[in-house]
Amino acid sequence: MKLKVIISGGGTGGHIYPAIAIANALKASDKNIDILFVGAEGRMEMDKVPEAGYEIVGLPISGIQRRLTLENLKFPIKLIKSLWKAGDIISEFKPNVVIGVGGYASGPIMWRAQNRRIPTVIQEQNGYAGLTNKILGGKAEKICVAYPNMEYYFPKNSIEFTGNPVRQDIIDLSSKKDEGYQQWGFNPDKPVLFVFGGSLGALTLNESMANGIDKLLESGIQIIWQTGKYYFDKYHSQFGGREKEGLHVVAFIKEMEKVYAISNVVVGRSGALSISELCLAGLPTILVPSPNVAEDHQTKNAMALVNEKAAVLVKDVDARTILIDEILSLINNKEKQTSLSESILNLGKPNAANDIAQKVIEVAEKHYKKNN
């Protein structure tokens, strides 16, 4: 049997990059597998997927705004058109299995597949299931999750605890330490703090750091502060040029593995992929969930770690007043660092992409044997 797979979803990097990682793992297991991506017209997957070497077809679907807008009035029409086109895509491509990675683009194609009794697999990145995945989860053959206790959202017998697919270069960090210290000009005998709020940046984290940067430096802490591109000019003009004091203010970091390798404590948001990377890196972490995301899922992601004693939580509303003291407390508590590191490592899933790919293949083969 020649396996034909549709991977659907997107909208954000948190959906797209795991999807591409799954596709790569499927191709690594069998280069003859045919893979077609289905995304939403005008969204970032329409560029990122072809860059990764895969074909993608776009649907005219869009999300529903939380306020009354003209776009909301267009939603039913876009949905009907997307369902119609999704049916045509399935008829033409004839997939053995359809994977949904979340985001509204996965809804029409997954729904059509399930109605035609084509097996589906869901990959849920967050500790809180997205709306599309919750609706479709009841009929999915397998649901690959990254957090424990997802039985609240999905049928228990369908759940596979696989983790999120993330970059593999952060698994062996010990070999990158020397290079990391050299690259950043840091003293290996002094602690390193890494603060990041994603590629765009996080206002709360940046304002909290600005309020306490001198206090941290006076305590002998070396700092890599990723402000994000939106905030870089402002904070670099204020705090740039202090590398000799142990402070680097940067907009974005490409070689994250070298930063992780030398970091003693990390402070960041709790997006699904960031958390999955931190679990593999095994780093003592303070999470400040963004309150500006759907269903407050970043708080739920963070609590999944906090409940396992694998991270420290600081609420966004409290960060400006207590984050600096929480950082100092953790930097000065080696015992707690060790405990957090051990606990977060237990949640890491280094083989997530391969494990998900294997589940997809098993589902397709089972369905094929049943019908032939």
Domain ranges across the chain? 4-164+350-370, 168-345
Long-range (24+ apart) CB contacts under 8 A made by 21-25 are 21/165, 21/166, 21/352, 21/353, 22/99, 22/101, 22/123, 22/165, 22/353, 22/356, 22/357, 22/360, 23/52, 23/54, 24/52, 24/353, 25/165, 25/353, 25/354, 25/356, 25/357
User: According to the annotation, is 63 in a ligand binding site?
Assistant: no
| pLDDT in the model for residue 63 | 64
| pLDDT in the model for residue 141 | 96
User: According to the annotation, is 102 in a ligand binding site?
Assistant: no
User: According to the annotation, is 67 in a ligand binding site?
Assistant: no
Taking the model in full, what pTM does it have?
Answer: 0.82
Indicate the class that CATH gives domain 4-164+350-370: alpha beta
| pLDDT in the model for residue 66 | 54
| pLDDT in the model for residue 71 | 64
User: According to the annotation, is 167 in a ligand binding site?
Assistant: yes
| pLDDT in the model for residue 65 | 55
User: According to the annotation, is 292 in a ligand binding site?
Assistant: no
User: According to the annotation, is 114 in a ligand binding site?
Assistant: no
The answer to whether the 4-164+350-370 and 168-345 domains have the same CATH topology is yes
User: According to the annotation, is 32 in a ligand binding site?
Assistant: no
Which parts of the chain register pLDDT below 50? none
| pLDDT in the model for residue 69 | 60
User: According to the annotation, is 354 in a ligand binding site?
Assistant: no
> What is the fold of 168-345?
Rossmann fold (3.40.50)
